Amino acid sequence: MWVGSSGALGALPAAALAASVPVGAADDVPVTVRLTVNDVAQEARVDVRTSLLDYLRENLRLTGTKKGCDHGQCGACTVHVNGRRVNSCLSLVAMHEGDSITTIEGLGTPDRLHPLQAAFVAHDGLQCGYCTSGQIMSAAALLTEPCGRTDADVKEAMSGNICRCGAYSNIVAAIRQVRDAG
């Protein structure tokens, strides 16, 4: 609810208002974090509130990782941290001192696709492509997780990754191909 000058805040003295909305708080102080991104050592000097997602996209220009919801609901921002998948929009880069981060740019290259990238192409597992890097990063993590062999198991393990184009059946087929080959 918006509270205007005639509402509850309007009755507060100016000094109390200033105290309730700190300006230039300690949060504005940059922090230094050393981490590895796609096997390259990085030293990040960032606002302590910077998400891992924004650091990757805005500081390092690794824009393969996508911002969908920015609330941990769509999976478009999925990366690997020390080999495990995380939603980078929900993680502060300041928390990753010493960590190893892998993004879609570190998984394969246009000349040397990761098997999952090739399988997504072969099975037409993408339409607009916006969710695709997150889907592939989740799928790559799934290959190392104790996931059952059925399509239902794969769908459950991939349920944190939303595709607004509805490419789900082709995504599952791509993952199945890579798992069966492995």
Where do contacts with ligand FES occur on this chain (CB under 6 A)? 67-70, 72-77, 87, 89, 126-132, 163-165, 167
- Alpha-carbon distance of 55 to 53, in angstroms, equals 5
Q: How far is the CB of 29 from ligand FES (least distance, A)?
A: 26
Q: How far is the CB of 17 from ligand FES (least distance, A)?
A: 34
Q: How far is the CB of 107 from ligand FES (least distance, A)?
A: 17
Would you state the torsion angle of the CA atoms of residues 156, 136, 101, 36, taken in this order, to the nearest 10 degrees? 170
Specify the residue, 32 or 169, whose C-beta has the smaller distance to ligand FES. Answer: 169
- Alpha-carbon distance of 31 to 180, in angstroms, equals 45
- Nearest by Cα to 155 from 76, 72, 167: 167
Specify the residue, 46 or 74, whose C-beta has the smaller distance to ligand FES. Answer: 74
CA atoms within 13 A on the CB side of 23: 2
Specify the residue, 167 or 174, whose C-beta has the smaller distance to ligand FES. Answer: 167
| Contact between residue 101 and residue 35 where contact means Cβ atoms under 8 Å apart | yes
- Nearest by Cα to 143 from 107, 167, 111: 107
Specify the residue, 141 or 163, whose C-beta has the smaller distance to ligand FES. Answer: 163
Specify the residue, 34 or 164, whose C-beta has the smaller distance to ligand FES. Answer: 164
Q: How far is the CB of 124 from ligand FES (least distance, A)?
A: 10
Q: How far is the CB of 54 from ligand FES (least distance, A)?
A: 11
